[in-house]
Each structure stands twice: as C-alpha cells, then as structure tokens.
Amino acid sequence: MKRQVLTLDPSKMVSLKQSICDISLGTRLRFSNSNVESFPRIHLQRIDGCPVFPEDTRGVLYYHSNSTLPPIAGEVRFRICDSLEDFDRGSDLHVLKRPWSLSLLRIVHTPNFATLRQMLLHEGLVDTQLMSDVSRLPPKLQDRLLLFHISQPFVLDLAQCQLEPNLVTRHSCQKVKFPNLFTDRRQVQTFLYTGKRKLDFFL
C-alpha cells in the first residue's frame, strides 16, 4: 500500500492537508509524492530477526532538527499521532529505546534516497551547501556513534570494552578512542557493568 508524503515540514502539514499514515506491522514501506517520480522504500532495521514496525503505528514522516545541535544533525523521523492537530502532543517512534530515524548523513549517502534529498532542498529544510558538505564526509559514518556537540547525550553500552565516538562537524570528522573504560584492569579482564544508559559525553 502506498502512503502519500506531501511535506516533511511540520509547519506546512495542516495547510497542505498531509494525511496520517498507518505503518503498523509494515516492513518495506512505499510512500508517494505528486511532485517527484518515485519515493524510496523505507524499511526498519532488523529487531530480534523481525524487521517490522510496531503495532498501532500511525502518524507522519517529518524532518527533525534539534535547536541545541548543528544543522548536520538533522534527521527524518516518524511522529506518532492520530491527527495533525495532535502532532505537537505526539511522540516520535522509538525502537530499542531510541528514536527511529534516517540521519541526514544516511540520506545524503544512500543512492535510493535521492527523492528525500530533493524534498529537503525543495522545502528549504536543508540548503545546498550543507548537502554538499555532508556528501564529502565518509559514507560509513552513518552506522557509527556520532556526536555533533561535545555535550550531546548518547546511549552507551556498558558491556563494551571501549568507547569509540566520532566527533563530527560539517567539514570534518574525528574518531576518539577510550579503551578499557568499564573493565577492571587489576585482574583478569572482567566487565563490571551491564545494561545501557543515556549519558552526557562529559560529566
């Protein structure tokens, strides 16, 4: 089933009469847009071997930008809401306790997302210079831990041997390694902690 996306700009959804999309239990979702020839399939990463969106998932795709982070940190998210009037009161779809999203880096470096790039530029949500700058960054960054601001919170797996965040600006990126953060080096290596928690990079 095709679902129509008229805009990714939350401020235009009411005036353009964007419809609510039901993606419950969907896998590879097909959206359409009257201004472009084709809209890319969007799919969910595998969760416990089952790549499906959760039940009762209705809402709209939109472009999310965080005022506390630089523009390069923008991403497409799915806002769960039953009507456009409930958009601000709704919540973003979360998967494994993290917002489901398509990062700007992923959108720029994925050939099949040309339509998304076209929409972001056409609506002025991303400018051509930013799109050009992001295209020069390594494409493999999209699958790594990215920090766009030194105080940006992130989810940390305490069972990991080391922490390797990538500090990213629109013109450069730098991997930083913190080995043996959560191991006891006084004896045979053992993990002192388990689980995940949202932290600030610098406490």
- The tokens describing 195, both together, are 């689980």
The answer to whether residues 52 and 17 belong to one domain is yes
The answer to whether residues 96 and 66 belong to one domain is yes
How confident is the model over 94-148, as pLDDT tens digits? 877 788 888 899 899 888 888 889 889 999 999 999 999 999 988 876 667 788 8
Q: What pTM does this model have?
A: 0.77
The answer to whether residues 158 and 123 belong to one domain is no
Residue 128 within any structural domain of the chain: yes
Of 99, 116, 137, the last residue of a domain is 137
Of 117, 137, 157, the last residue of a domain is 137
Check if the beta carbon of residue 138 is closer than 8 Å to that of residue 172: no
Residue 183 within any structural domain of the chain: yes
d(CA 126, CA 41): 21
The answer to whether residues 129 and 29 belong to one domain is yes
Of 137, 162, 180, the last residue of a domain is 137
Does pLDDT of 200 surpass 70? no
Residue 95 within any structural domain of the chain: yes
The answer to whether residues 28 and 110 belong to one domain is yes
The answer to whether residues 34 and 129 belong to one domain is yes
Section 143-162 average pLDDT: 78
Amino acid at 200: D
Looking at the 3D structure of the chain, how many domains does it have? 2
Residue 142 within any structural domain of the chain: no
The answer to whether residues 19 and 114 belong to one domain is yes
- The tokens describing 131, both together, are 């799109």
Q: What are the distances in angstroms from CA 165 to CA 1, 52, 87, 96, 180?
A: 39, 28, 32, 20, 14
Residue 79 within any structural domain of the chain: yes
The answer to whether residues 60 and 92 belong to one domain is yes
The answer to whether residues 69 and 117 belong to one domain is yes
- Count the neighbouring beta carbons within 10 Å of the beta carbon of residue 163: 18
Bigger pLDDT: 72 vs 33: 72
| Boundaries of domain holding 163 | 147-200
Bigger pLDDT: 197 vs 69: 69
- The tokens describing 25, both together, are 């239990």
Report residue 42's pLDDT band, with 50, 70 and 90 as the boundaries.
low
